[in-house]
Chains A and B, each alone.
Chain A
């Protein structure tokens, strides 16, 4: 048994791990198998994370957070949580490999998942023109006419990024104003390859074997029209990843995990939550990191209040943890170097 398990490897999870590891709680961080690093893994330049005036690539930032967490003794396991039992004093977490981990406290930092449009042809054409990852798929749309759906920072970033490849990028948004930050809006407005399609909703995707166009409905007049595009990038927001916790952890009306006031405390003692999974509003790398700090401090406080007979086995067993999975490390010049 351990003192702490952290579920999630975005800014919230890794920051919680840095604090918990420095408090010598030897946290185990379950990072997921193929989504380790979270949402920032699919971004390019991160310009608003303090301390990086020249900006930093999303994957590099996450690699550095991981290294910082590991430096103080966080054990990182690249596996997916499939089941949790959080109700007792001892929390049990099961992963895809069938391993069961036990701990006295759990920090849930599972983040959020891309929201779909909910159209019948969306899944069928996913990978055939419909995409959720501009950095992965943008290069396949050289000289094409494509569209981005959404009006937030992600949509602006994707649209701007996609103009490196595409001849034209429509930004389809259901209102006539954007929710994106001013700097991202400005960049998109000034880009000659980007054209905004206001007050419009995508109600259909056409194409037999690949996307050939979309059907738009005007949100004011209700009129429908076709728009010819061969790619559709969807950036209409995210939904908190809470499916593992149904029946155990309380939710808010917005669908995020419920926490008490400004703390990270959920309805279950010893279970804390941080990052996008509790945040319907701000959802920034920095706010997630801060939220991870709150969770680590709350969990540390909780562990300190536990009776010694519960704590003793957890403190001893953490020594037996397996070695962290090899990845990259920082050389004396501060550069990231891959390790076998």
Chain B
């Protein structure tokens, strides 16, 4: 399964905010069990929809600046950015069909 790209405080502007494609950022941490559970689900969605949306991960421990900027207080938090703006937020690990339906607008 495809490993998702890591973005950081340093690369967030370039990789996420300036991207031409919608980008889903998975805010996660090692110590969060639901984050580890949802990882493979996101990898699968990325694999199946690579042409429509890019899915990347941001480790909140290593990149506190970005996590604070977007007021992350629950993880996993999945935020979709388009044109530099957050256009969709999903909080908490969800099964693949549930995530797909939340993200339907970006996967169509």
> What is the interface of chain A, defined by CB distance below 8 A to chain B?
32-37, 41-42, 59, 78, 80, 96-97, 126-129, 131, 133, 135-137, 139-141, 209-210, 231
Contacts and interface: CB of A to CB of B under 8 A. Distances in A.
Contacts of B32: 133, 135-136
B71 interface: yes
Given A34-B94, A127-B91, A136 B74 contact: yes
Contacts of A35: 34, 37, 93
Contacts of A96: 95-97
Nearest to A82: B97
A125 to B, nearest CB: 10
A34 B37 contact: yes
Interface residues of B, number: 27
A133 B93 CA distance: 12
- Residue with the greatest number of chain B CB neighbours at <10 A, chosen from A35, A42, A78, A139: A139
A126 B91 contact: yes
B95 A37 contact: no
A127 B74 CA distance: 5
- Residue with the greatest number of chain B CB neighbours at <10 A, chosen from A34, A137, A140: A34
Nearest to A136: B32
B34 A41 contact: yes
Contact of A131 (B33, B61, B74): B74
Interface string B26-49: 000101111101101100000000
Given A34-B37, A34-B41, A80-B95, A131 B73 contact: yes
